[in-house]
Structures are given as structure tokens and as C-alpha cells.
Amino acid sequence: MVDKSGRRSFIKGLGAAGITALAMPVMAQTNTESAANIKWDKTADVVIIGSGFAALAASIKAKQLGATDVEIFEKMPYFGGNSAINGGLFAAPNTPLQAKEGVKDSIDTMVADQLKSGRGIADEPLLRHIASHAAEALQMTIDAGAEYHPYLQQLGGHSVARTYQTTVSCGAGITQPLLKYSQKLGVKTNNRAKFIGFVQDDNGKVIGVKLLTGHHFEDPNSGKVTYVKANKGVLMATGGFAQNIKLRMAQDPTLTNEVGCTNIPGTTGEAMLEMFRLGATPVHLAHIQSGPWASPDEGGFGYVSNYSIFNFPHSIAVNLQTGRRFMNEIADRKTRADAELRCRDEAGKPQPPIMITSYEDAMEHPTCKKVLKYKVGWKFDSIADIAKHYGIPAAELQKQVDEYNQYVRTGEDKQFGKAMAMAHGKELRAPFTVVRLWPKVHYCQGGVQINTNAEVVDSLTGQPIPGLYAAGEVAGGIHGVSRLGSCSIPECLVMGMTAANTLMNA
């Protein structure tokens, strides 16, 4: 058994400089308890904390593998977590839709795209494991009742079109069918149940959890203390920490409360911190991704995000100061977010750039109507009207549009090397739709380290912490510096399924 008290003394002795070096917040007293004096309130084969993609996939897989009792515990009053409000975009190689559209892809190609975006520090074995099982995870969602648009999208950083999107254009198109399917299989779902600590046996194995049931998110300490025993294992699928302002500022001081966020209020990271206190290895916490498709004209993920993701391949992003493009509109997220953040006025104040799309092409995606209806995007009859409205040099803007249309015709972007296959036949033509762009905090690359069995790795021994598993955004280091869009859903689903496989066969 690893001496956890020694670990806590070690961390305490590091002081502020040492903690900063570890890229970790100061560790409070652990809430983990010994099982010696615990009176269990409930028992299950598999205990799952969280209710998003990873949690639901794990619950279904565990039941399919013969688990008698599977229980999901969610701290919020609703199920689905942050997964329910994401874009519903699912990347997978070698899929039926790729075959239908004549897209040549492979596991190697998808992994190579992700490694490039990860800038040398992504976890190749985990990425390869996920890509190898992504089509299987996609099929699970379809079997559960998820429905997707009958076409593929090519998102930023992907070398080919491999992304499905739910017909409702959000993650709820997956979480709701999975939730219903899991409940049909007998999975027990509990909301308003906040995780606060682990329970270990004398050998250091995680054999249960401590919860606050009847919890109300607005009151952090509300609820009744409840102990739940896990006969086979505990899966942590609690998401990221994008809404924890202090924690994200500890990693990146620029991410203050003035920076918008696409996540639900519950993405605050307490469960991740408790795993660190237990001994889990922290990895890549400072890499926090901002979405370059977000709008400053609406809160949260909003309507513009999905609109932009769909339209970037056949649109141009323009700097208001110059009337010119300033980036490859389908580069990886970090490249685009950094480029947008450099768009500022003479005084250095943010000056959100605009994205110009032909109205006819924009209307191919259902979110366009909502973007216009809720006045977070606007329709213009001419380039001159756009230039006048935003104070853009009109001659330069018209010249840029003419140049870009030539790239569409030739299939070669001589400005930024944008892949033009998805823009074929879609020259910019009147009337136009325009949205403003500005990044929002979207995804935490960092979290606890896991292996390809979804086991949480101990920071002192380098071995799995017995009985403890993690999947989804709470697991860090998988994507490196920047995650490609539409790769979180396959990651969550595959690693949730993997955790179920591992713990049921342990």
C-alpha cells in the first residue's frame, strides 16, 4: 500500500514554488477515507461519477458485459453534463458515410492529424486506441437511436472529411438516446449527487465513493453524506474545469472572468482535484483550449459556434482594419484562436473579426436561421454594404473576395494554403451572411493521466491506482497542446467503453 500521508506531507513541503512547478493548485486536506469504519448506504458493481458521453457509454458497455448493478451519479439537476450542449460533432475514420462519399481515410491518417495539432506532446498510443474504436463507438450511438446529418464535414486541422453531426446539431442528440438506452438496460441514474471523496481499503484500492445526495449546485455543502460501495470499480467521468476561474487562472493568468466560456456551470473540476490528492498524475493542465468559432454577441456555446464550424470551409475570416483574410479558416483551433486574438484596433483593444459566407451556402445548415433570427448574425446584399457597416476599407475587401473566389475556382489557396475541396463550387456571392468571431474557453487539455485501459496512473509508482478509472475531459494529456474539433466525442465514448471493459474483466 502506498503511504498517502507521506505524499500529502511531500506536497505540503513543496511550498508555492514547488506547486507552481507541478502546474497544480494548492492541495487541501483529502476527503478520501478508509473503509474500516464506513457504513455503506448503497452497493453496485460499477459506480460512475458524471453523466456525459463517457459515463453513458461506460454504463451501457458494463451492462452488456454482465454487470448486475450500474449506478450513475450526477451533481447537477439534469443529465448529460457538458456533453449535452457541445456541437454534436463526431470524427471517425473508415465509416460508411466516408465510403459513400468516396473519402479515403485511415486510422493512421486521423492519428497523424491529431499529432500535428498536438504539437509534439499528444499521447499517440491513446489517440491510436481511440481512432481504432471510434467507428464502434459511433455504431453504439446509432444503435441507441442517435441520428446524424447525411453528409460529412471537414473541420479545422482534419486532412479529410470524417466528421458526422447530429441532426439536432448538439450533443444532446447523442446523450439523450444513450441515457434512455442505458435506463432501458437497467442502469440506475441519480442526479443532485455531488462526489466529494473516495473510500479505499487497507491495500489502497478504491472501493467506493462519498457523495452529497439531494445536493443543490448553488449551495456547495448541501445534501446528505452518502457512501456507495463499488464491487468492481469507480469510473470518474466528470469533465473539465473551464468554469473554475481560479483554477484555470492558476494555469493561464490571462483566462480571467472576463473571458467567455462555452461550458455549463458545473464544469468546476473538484473530482479531478480529489484524484490528485489521492495520488493521480497531473498532466498538461496549462493547455486550455479556446474555440475560434465562438461569437462575442451571445453567451455560452450559442448558435454561431455550430454555424461557423459548418461554414468555415467555404467562407473567409476578415480583419476589420485591413479588409483582408488573416488565417486559414480551417487550420487547427489554436492556430485560429491565436490569429483572432491578434485582431485589435490601434489602441490594442479587441476588434473581433468577421466571417463572410454566401447566404445560399450558409442556409444549408439549420443553425443559420437561428443565427439570423436571434440577431447574432446579419444578412447583407453586397460587399459594399458589409464594408460600410463594419468600417472596413471597401476596395481591399472587394479585392480580397475576388482573390478568394479565384482560389475556389483553381482549388488552390495562395494566401494561407487552406484545403479547398469543401469549397469547390462555392464562390462568395451576394447576398451574404456575416457573424463576428472571438474565442471562448472551451476545453481543458489537462487532467489526470490514464493508460489505454482507462486506468488512472499513480504519480509516485507510475502504476494504476487500483479500482480507479477515468474517461473524457477529466483525463489529460491525450490531445497535447490543441485538440482537433469533433475528437472529444469519440475520445469520451471509446474511453468510457474501455473503462467498462477493463473493470469488468479485472
* Percent share of the chain, pLDDT over 70: 94
DSSP string, 325-343: B-S-TTS-HHHHHHHHHT-
In this prediction, residue 29 has a pLDDT band, given cuts at 50, 70 and 90, of low
pLDDT tens-digit profile of 59-80? Answer: 999 999 999 999 999 999 999 9
For the chain, which residues make up each domain, given as ranges? 29-288+444-504, 293-438
**CA 176 – CA 491 distance, rounded (Å):** 18
pLDDT of residue 26: 39
**CA 342 – CA 353 distance, rounded (Å):** 10
Cell numbers linked to 445: 487539455
Q: For 433-445, what is the mean pLDDT?
A: 96
Residue 242 DSSP symbol: T
Q: Do domains 29-288+444-504 and 293-438 have the same CATH topology?
A: no
Alpha helices of 391-475 — where are they, by DSSP H?
A: 394-410
- In degrees, rounded to 5, the angle at the alpha carbon of residue 496 between the alpha carbons of residues 452 and 211 is 115
pLDDT of residue 280: 98
Do 323 and 393 touch, CB atoms closer than 8 A?
yes
**CA 248 – CA 245 distance, rounded (Å):** 5
Strand, helix or coil for residue 16: helix
Q: For 260-288, what is the mean pLDDT?
A: 96
Peptide bond into 431 cis (omega under 30): yes
Is the model's pLDDT at 8 over the cut of 60? no
Q: What is the CATH number of domain 293-438?
A: 3.90.700.10
Angle of helix 124-144 relative to helix 107-117, nearest 10 degrees? 120
Alpha helices of 253-346 — where are they, by DSSP H?
A: 270-278, 304-311, 333-341
Give the side-chain half-sphere CA count within 13 A for 476: 27
Amino acid symbol at 65: L
Is the model's pLDDT at 415 over the cut of 60? yes
In this prediction, residue 254 has a pLDDT band, given cuts at 50, 70 and 90, of confident
**CA 323 – CA 243 distance, rounded (Å):** 35
pLDDT tens-digit profile of 75-127? Answer: 999 999 999 999 999 999 999 999 999 999 999 999 999 999 999 999 999 99
**CA 388 – CA 401 distance, rounded (Å):** 15
Q: For 410-438, what is the mean pLDDT?
A: 97
pLDDT of residue 17: 35
pLDDT tens-digit profile of 284-306? Answer: 999 999 999 999 999 989 999 99
Is the model's pLDDT at 5 over the cut of 90? no
The two beta strands, 377-380 and 193-200, are unpaired
- Other C-beta atoms within 10 Å of 376: how many? 18
What Rg do the C-alpha atoms of the chain give, in angstroms?
23
Q: For 423-436, what is the mean pLDDT?
A: 97
pLDDT of residue 130: 98
Nearest to 482 by CA among 288, 249, 267, 331: 288
User: Phi and psi for 132 in degrees, rounded to 5?
Assistant: -70, -25
pLDDT tens-digit profile of 384-414? Answer: 999 999 999 999 999 999 999 999 999 999 9
Cell numbers linked to 368: 443559420
Residues 6 or more apart whose Cβ sits within 8 Å of residue 28: 273, 277
**CA 156 – CA 89 distance, rounded (Å):** 12
**CA 418 – CA 421 distance, rounded (Å):** 9
Which residues are identified as catalytic?
333
* Percent share of the chain, pLDDT over 90: 91
Nearest to 292 by CA among 333, 253, 326, 323: 333
- In degrees, rounded to 5, the angle at the alpha carbon of residue 359 between the alpha carbons of residues 356 and 365 is 100
Is the model's pLDDT at 22 over the cut of 60? no
**CA 359 – CA 331 distance, rounded (Å):** 23
**CA 237 – CA 228 distance, rounded (Å):** 16
Q: For 231-259, what is the mean pLDDT?
A: 94
Q: What would the 3-class secondary structure string for 132-199 be?
A: HHHHHHHHHHHHHCCCECCCCECCCCCCCCCEEEECCCCCHHHHHHHHHHHHHCCCEEECCEEEEEEE
pLDDT of residue 486: 97
Average pLDDT, rounded, for the chain:
93
- Give strand pairing partners of 253: none
Do 255 and 248 touch, CB atoms closer than 8 A?
yes
Strand, helix or coil for residue 445: coil
Amino acid symbol at 291: G
Cα-Cα end-to-end distance for the chain: 19
User: Quick one: CATH architecture of 29-288+444-504?
Assistant: 3-Layer(bba) Sandwich (3.50)
